[in-house]
Amino acid sequence: MTMTPAYLIARPSHTRLLQPRATLRRCAAALALAWLAGCAVGPDYHKPAVDVPASFKEGVDWQRAQANPQASLSTDWWTLYDDPTLTQLIEQSLKANQSIVAAEAAYRLAQATVDASVASLFPVVTAGTSATRSGTGPSAATGGVSSTTGSVPGVHNSVSVNVAATWEPDLWGQIRREIESSKESAQATDAQLAGERLSIAASVADDYIALRQADIDIASLKQQQAIDARLLDITRAAYAQGTASNDDVLAAQDTLELVVAALQSTETAREQDEHAIAVLIGEPPASFTLTPREDYAFNTPAVPLTLPSQLLERRPDVVEAERTAAAANAKIGVAEAAFFPVLDLGIQGGFEHNTFAHLFTLPSRVWTLGPELAATLFDAGARTAAVHEARATYDEAVANYRQAVLSAFQNVEDSLSSWNHLTQQETAYAHIYQRNQALFASTQAQLSAGTASEQNLLTQQLTLLQAAQSVKDTQSLQMQSSVALIKNLGGGWEWNEKRGTAVMGDSATR
């Protein structure tokens, strides 16, 4: 049994049927607008595929030596080197370095761009008020009516207050694609800022280690210079006695001059390292000095090695390249939306009267309301070219991302290769140093027994000093290699893809 709707009982059908039909039309229109608002032209983003190896080629020995190769680094990784001076310098650089300040400003700019893009989703509301007072004189020829304006002569007042609102509904998702692109660009800038911080910290550490290596080399070279000067004196005395040739004297002079030249080169390198550190921490080189430390001990901590797949989230430059590709993908939708018509909705209302006392009254009310639909019919291919440009930019960004991934793998492999060979090199030099210690002690004993000369002892002492310097230089290179490895692994920085932001890694070495 079909029941008659209540609105049809005892009422003229033609008058009441209009209401539900009008309601249906309004609902249909609302649904249509909701559907349009939900669609966005252009391709949805998917992270570009890359070839990721299962493990690092040069990291086999390294991974075998580490208890937890998947552990993450600490964000304050420089404290692992147990050097308060190094820690203080890096922390100062992170606050005062001008490259970091510029990168932070660029990130704030990117965030402001996101806010500006989001604001485009909402109506623009303006308000204004005006008041005018004008007068016209009478004309006898026109019977008292102004000959210039045709208005009644006298003084006239006009006061108005108005409010206007305009809104462009985002029917095709152009604004939302702009927001998407600007957000991902901001994320890329965030990763760029993290990369700048990591680069500055690593540069400070690298220059500081090189400076301490120069301290030790300068001390060693000065001792060698003193010994070579003594050997030259002994050779000259032997030449005067006829037991040495002039060639021996010339050779001894050359040996001394080579040490002097090496000393000047090393002192130059130290001064320039000191200047570089000063700039990195935001100070003029003239006002910055680091006291030399001839007894510096190079401490190289264990660095947990991540898996290659984790490197894609722990390298700021890789994340920056990937977010740049995502932003470029959204720009394709922005370009494609230009092919669709644009709807502008505008409304304006206010009050107008010749006296302020009667301004806000119903008879003084004025208003206008009207939509505007506009579409480009011909542009000589400009929109098509814009789409092609956006797609080409995206393809370029994808290629840059894949190249960044390859470079990241190469950097880590290079660091591991350097570490592996430096470890073996340091072991070899350590053995050489130990043997030369024994030889020096033996020569001392021979000198005491009268079976060796002072020249023999000094020559063996030179060899011992050079062996010790080689050990220290290799230890310095090992420490620098560990800094490079930490930098290439991301330095404790990690990208959270779900949250779209960076998170701080936990220290696995504390």
Q: Return the top range by mean pLDDT from 149-153, 205-209, 411-415, 446-450.
A: 205-209
Comparing 55-59, 298-302, 404-408, the range with the smallest average pLDDT is 55-59
Residue of higher predicted confidence among 172 and 240? 240
Percent of the chain residues topping a pLDDT of 70: 81
Torsion of CA 123, 124, 129, 134, to 10 degrees: -110
Tell me the pLDDT tens digit for each residue of 355-367.
666 666 767 677 7
Same domain, 423 and 302: yes
Q: Return the top range by mean pLDDT from 61-65, 74-78, 268-272.
A: 268-272
Same domain, 368 and 416: no
352 is in which domain, residue-wise? Answer: 123-135+146-167+341-374
In the numeric block, which tokens belong to residue 9?
A: 């009982």
Same domain, 192 and 333: yes
Q: What φ, ψ does residue 128 adopt, rounded to 5°?
A: -155, 160
Give the mean pLDDT of 58-69. 54
Instruction: Please give the Cα distance from 473 to 210 (Å, whole number).
Output: 9
Residue of higher predicted confidence among 132 and 468? 468
Q: Decide if pLDDT at 198 tops 70.
A: yes
Instruction: Please give the Cα distance from 466 to 460 (Å, whole number).
Output: 10
In a domain, 318, yes or no: yes
Same domain, 114 and 130: no
Same domain, 188 and 151: no
Residue among 339, 298, 231 nearest 483 (CA): 298
Task: Count the helix, strand and coil residues of the chain and give each as a percent rounded to the nearest 5.
Answer: 65, 10, 25
pLDDT band at 506 (very low <50, low <70, confident <90, very high): very low
Same domain, 435 and 346: no
* Per-residue b or e along 408-418, where b marks 16 or more CB atoms closer than 10 Å to that residue's CB: bbebbbebbeb
pTM (two decimals): 0.82
Residue 254 belongs to a domain with what CATH number? 1.20.1600.10
> Three-state secondary structure along 367-397?
EEEEEEEECCCCCCCHHHHHHHHHHHHHHHH
CA distances from residue 479 to 78, 125, 205, 299 in whole angstroms, order as listed: 11, 61, 9, 7
Determine the pLDDT at residue 13.
39
Same domain, 151 and 268: no
Instruction: Please give the Cα distance from 290 to 112 (Å, whole number).
Output: 41
Instruction: Please give the Cα distance from 159 to 140 (Å, whole number).
Output: 30
Domain count, the chain: 2
Q: Decide if pLDDT at 5 tops 50.
A: no
Residue of higher predicted confidence among 293 and 129? 293
Give the mean pLDDT of 47-52. 90
Determine the pLDDT at residue 16.
39
Give the mean pLDDT of 337-349. 83
In a domain, 28, yes or no: no
Name the CA radius of gyration of the chain, rounded: 40
Comparing 27-31, 74-78, 131-135, 292-296, the range with the smallest average pLDDT is 27-31
In a domain, 236, yes or no: yes
pLDDT band at 167 (very low <50, low <70, confident <90, very high): confident
Instruction: Please give the Cα distance from 358 to 362 (Å, whole number).
Output: 9
pLDDT band at 343 (very low <50, low <70, confident <90, very high): confident
Same domain, 59 and 109: yes
Same domain, 66 and 197: yes
Same domain, 389 and 368: no
In a domain, 324, yes or no: yes
Q: Decide if pLDDT at 29 tops 50.
A: no
**Residue 149, Cβ density class (10 Å: 0-12 exposed, 13-18 middle, ≥19 buried):** exposed
**How high does pLDDT run on average in the chain?**
83
Give the mean pLDDT of 59-78. 62
Instruction: Please give the Cα distance from 432 to 173 (Å, whole number).
Output: 71
In a domain, 161, yes or no: yes
Give the mean pLDDT of 325-336. 93
pLDDT band at 4 (very low <50, low <70, confident <90, very high): very low
Q: Decide if pLDDT at 105 tops 80.
A: yes
Same domain, 306 and 350: no
